[in-house]
Amino acid sequence: MRPGVALFDWSSIPEETPQPGVVRQTLHGERQTLVRYRYAPGAVFPVHVHPEEQVTVVLRGRLAFVVDDVEILGEAGTVVVIPGGVAHGARVVGEEEVETLNTFVPRRATAP
C-alpha cells in the first residue's frame, strides 16, 4: 500500500462515552477527523462550539439538532453541515438508537 493509506475496522477503534448514552469512536486522518457516534434513546449531546466545520450524516434513527437556537430534524439519509464557530447540540427523537458519521475539518487536535 502507498504511504499514508490505511484500512481500519470500527471494531478496532476504542469506544468512549463522552455523555450518558453516547458512544464515540474517533479516527484521525492527516487533515480531517472522522467520528462515529451511537446515541441511545433519550441521549443528549449538550450545546457546544468548536472551530472546525462539521458534516454529520445520520445513518439511522432521528436526531434533533439545535443550531444557533434553531431546531432541525436529522433523519436517516440526511446530512447536516455546521460551520466552525457555530453553537450546536443534539438529542435523540424517538425510541430508536441513532448512528451518525461526522467529519471535522481541519483535523481536530482533541476529541469532539
Query: For 2-45, what is each residue's pLDDT tens digit?
Result: 888 989 999 999 999 999 999 999 999 999 999 999 999 999 99
Q: How high is the pLDDT of residue 106?
A: 96
- Residue whose grid cell is 435523540: 92
Measured between alpha carbons, how far is 35 from 24 in angstroms, rounded to an integer? Answer: 7
> At CA 77, angle to CA 93 and CA 86, rounded to 5?
65
Closest alpha carbon to 37 in 92, 82, 84: 92
Closest alpha carbon to 34 in 61, 51, 52: 52
Residue 111 binned pLDDT confidence (cut-offs 50, 70, 90): low
Bridge partners, 40 (sequence order) = none
Q: What domains sit in the chain, N to C, each tagged with a CATH number? A: 15-105 (2.60.120.10)
> At CA 22, angle to CA 20 and CA 24, rounded to 5?
135
pTM, 2 dp: 0.92
Q: What does DSSP assign to residue 4?
A: T
